[in-house]
Amino acid sequence: MQSTTFHFLASIMSSSSRHAGMGNLSLEEASEGLKKLLIHNDKDEQLSKELETKIEKLISELLGTTQTVRRILGGFQSFKTNKFDMNPALFRELAEHQTPKFLCFRML
C-alpha cells in the first residue's frame, strides 16, 4: 500500500511539471485514485470527509506550484487590481463589443 501510494504521488508530481494535458493523470483521475488508496477501508464517514478534503488540497497544491501557473495568476491579479478595478466603465464597454466572448492571452 505504501509503495503504491508513493508511486501514485510521484506520477502526480512528475505530471505537474509538464504542460497541461500532457501529464499521465488529470486532476480528477489523481483525486479519485488517491481517494481509493486512502479511504476505501475507512468506516468513519467524518474521517473520510477530512481525508478527502486534505487529498484535494494536496493535489491542487502539487499541480499548482509551477512557475508558469504562479506567473499567470500573479499577472491576472495585477491586471485586475491595477487596470480592471480602476476602469470598470471602460471594460464594461469593451466587453459589449468583444467577439468572441472569451479572452486569450500569451506569456512573453
2-34 residue pLDDT tens: 444 445 555 554 544 444 443 556 667 766 776
Q: How far apart are CA 53 and CA 35, in angstroms?
A: 10
Cell 488508496 belongs to residue: 37
Asked if 22 and 11 sit in the same domain, the reply is: yes
pLDDT tens profile 30-61? 667 766 666 555 566 777 777 777 877 777 77
In-domain check, residue 105: no
Residue 16 sits in the same domain as residue 28: yes
Residues 73, 50: one domain? no
How far apart, in whole angstroms, are the C-alpha atoms of residue 66 and residue 8? 19
Closest to 39 (Cα-Cα) out of 30, 31, 51: 51
**For the chain, percent helix, then strand, then coil, each to nearest 5?**
70, 0, 30
55 and 6 in one domain?
yes
Q: Domain residues for 93?
A: 68-97
Q: Are residues 60 and 77 located together in one domain of the fold?
A: no
pLDDT, averaged across the chain: 69
